[in-house]
Chains A and B, each alone.
Chain A
């Protein structure tokens, strides 16, 4: 069959793009959620016990969002959580990247630190959060510490792997032209390790957001995690879902921002990755 006899597809091209499909998928999901709410609300069980104590419809979530926004409550909680995230994440970067570097470059440092890194990495942050509350009380500082513990290891370990897997032949190029060890470090090792380090940051974002919530569940006076906990105790699902939606949005946005940063700092890496994936798929 040649191109001329081929029928025009029923769906126009702009509707078949990957973005449009993704958007449609989300909209369908929300519609199902709304229908499920309407359906459940009509069952005999929920006619007796009001469904509004268990589930909020998407529309109610939007309304609650507006209320919480106007009252300033949402901003207060978000700001509190955001500060915890920023402090903890920044500290994780400041500590994780240099230690990862040191462990990759200096063998003895690696011998000394490796058992500790392995142990603390294997420890669930959830288990450490309560004792940190006992030591430091409630507030932004102890919560940031929990965030730090959650985020530091992906950053540290990815920095380590990134430096360890710097390509030998590229190092040799700089050496062959008389480059000093310092030049090798700045002109090959750092640029070649950058994609791995940013991948570490992207993994750390997810863990940091979880840590924010965990820390606030154990004890806090504010924050989105606190808000979610507080309202679910009072059987008010509206604000609970608002809190979750804000957390999800924040997680996705920072993840995308880092993806952009990666594409901007190391455009060659995206290409390399695509080629590897292509090779795997064709094999």
Chain B
């Protein structure tokens, strides 16, 4: 056990041999979602997960949070096994997941409130994080009074306020329009610079993954395995113009090739299954 502890001090998050299968409702046979997933994440590292759609990225992220159980393997966060959700992990959800009956302030406070922390201290903290995501002055607005981009900022503040060890983000910008998304990407990098959180970011947008990350983990089609972990050597701080550099475009092409191959593979398999 001592070895694991030492190892853990070097890596923030260790995923070893993770396997997950679902039992379908129609038949008794189980469908393998992914198997043999292993990788390590260093402290303050920004990791993206990409892969063909339906490959189980979101499921994987929910397992990392402890929201759904896995079948095999282990997840270590700071050397401790992850079994259930908690304030050591911050989760940023895909679509609008703000509680509509709470104001921005009360939505951000939620994470602290669930731990039983109340009072002016947590209020001040919430106001600080609301300012960090650039929403100062909107504390008493309701989610329906905010635009999609603003709602995702609140979503982010809500995850950050619990001061998590790792930030898990599930396609947070998927529902935003292209312009807002670009702005949010740049903002996210700025906040990441300020808070130095370890981030696991799930997206289906390859450009987004490369722009944000230190490393991009590319999943294969179902049953998903890790096809490749692509290191992004582009120096930081990155501005949006980086997206037009040759280095960036080469990386994007490379990731695209892998994913395209996987998509074709899964389409071929589906066709075979269809014939049967």
Contact = CB atoms under 8 A, between A and B. Distances in A.
Nearest to B92: A176
Contacts of A183: 114
B16 to A, nearest CB: 23
A169 B143 CA distance: 15
Interface string B120-136: 00000000000000000
Interface string B62-103: 000101000000000000000011110101010101011100
Interface string A166-183: 000110111111110001
Interface residues of B, number: 22
A162 to B, nearest CB: 14
B142 A177 contact: no
Given A172-B67, A272-B100, A177 B93 contact: no
Contact of A169 (B85, B89, B97, B110): B97
Interface residues of A, number: 22
Interface string A42-57: 0000000000000000
A177 B101 contact: no
B24 interface: no
A267 B145 CA distance: 12
B231 interface: no
B100 A175 contact: no
B110 A172 contact: no
B114 A170 contact: no
Nearest to A274: B144
A174 B99 CA distance: 10
B144 A170 contact: no
A269 B111 CA distance: 23
A177 B97 contact: no
Contacts of B142: 267-268, 271
Contacts of A269: 100
A266 interface: yes
Query: Which of B87, B97, B142 has the most chain A CB atoms inside 10 A of its CB?
Result: B97
B114 A268 contact: no
The binding surface of chain A is classed by DSSP as helix
A188 interface: yes
A219 interface: no
Contacts of A275: 144
A191 B101 contact: yes
Contact of B114 (A169, A179, A192, A272): A179
A177 B91 contact: yes
B25 interface: no
A177 B162 contact: yes
Nearest to A270: B144
B99 A170 contact: yes
B241 interface: no
Contacts of B86: 177-178
B101 A268 contact: yes
Interface of A: 169-170, 172-179, 183, 187-188, 191-192, 266-269, 271-272, 275
13 contacts: A169-B93, A170-B99, A174-B114, A175-B85, A177-B87, A177-B91, A178-B114, A187-B99, A187-B110, A188-B99, A191-B101, A267-B142, A275-B144
Interface of B: 65, 67, 84-87, 89, 91, 93, 95, 97, 99-101, 110-111, 114-115, 142-144, 162
